[in-house]
Amino acid sequence: MNAAGLPEETPVRDPAVADQLRKAVRLREDGRTEEARAQLVRLGAAHPEDADVAYQTAWAHDVLGLEAEAVAHYRRALALPGLSEADRRGALLGLGSTYRVLGRAEEAVTTLSGGVREFPHDAALRTFLAMALYSAGRSKEALELALTVVADTSADPGVAAYGRAIRHYAGDLDDLS
């Protein structure tokens, strides 16, 4: 949805661009990340309006430890129409995590909080938000969220048996009743 609440139009991608994007992603998946990054940077320069290209370019930078360079690509991917729901979640998580790694904890919290509002049941986003909260000096909130994620997602029989109690205490760690 755009700011007016109308559905975003998915841009039509040139088949040649789609083919180049697939090849670059395959290179990254095959461990040829520097080669993939170079191809994606060229493709992104030629097609700056393509959200998928921007997202994959960000991802390639992240994999190479080039987090500072990844930020602009993540931001562009999120600003453009056309990302699938899964890729939008991935871009929000990637950008938030990247901000945290760069020591930009408040931006990480803002980004990941927005992701959790958009995708409230995504445990990965909630987990990365807990880490960002910790990095921002908000340890209590971080632990509360982390405990809630554990209670909500654990298949461990012991955790499941105490899920209600874990959720209760996660809601107020100072409650000793």
Q: Which residue, chain included where needed, has tokens 């990965």?
A: 124
Q: Are 72 and 80 in contact (CB under 8 A)?
A: no
Which pLDDT score is estimated for 12? 64
Q: Residue 6 — pLDDT band, cuts 50, 70, 90?
A: very low
Q: What is the pLDDT of residues 155-174, one digit of tens each?
A: 999 999 999 999 999 988 88
Lookup: tokens for 91: 């871009």
This prediction's pTM: 0.87
Contacts of 47 (CB under 8 A, 6+ apart): 17, 53
Q: Taking 60 as the threshold, does the pLDDT of residue 3 lie above it?
A: no
- Assess whether the region 14-83 and the region 105-177 belong to the same CATH fold: yes
For 105-177, CATH number?
A: 1.25.40.10
Chosen CATH of 14-83 out of 1.10.510.10, 1.25.40.10, 3.40.50.360, 3.30.110.30: 1.25.40.10
Q: What is the pLDDT of residues 14-66, one digit of tens each?
A: 888 999 999 999 999 999 999 999 999 999 999 999 999 999 999 999 999 99
CA neighbor of 88 nearest in space, from 130, 63, 117: 117
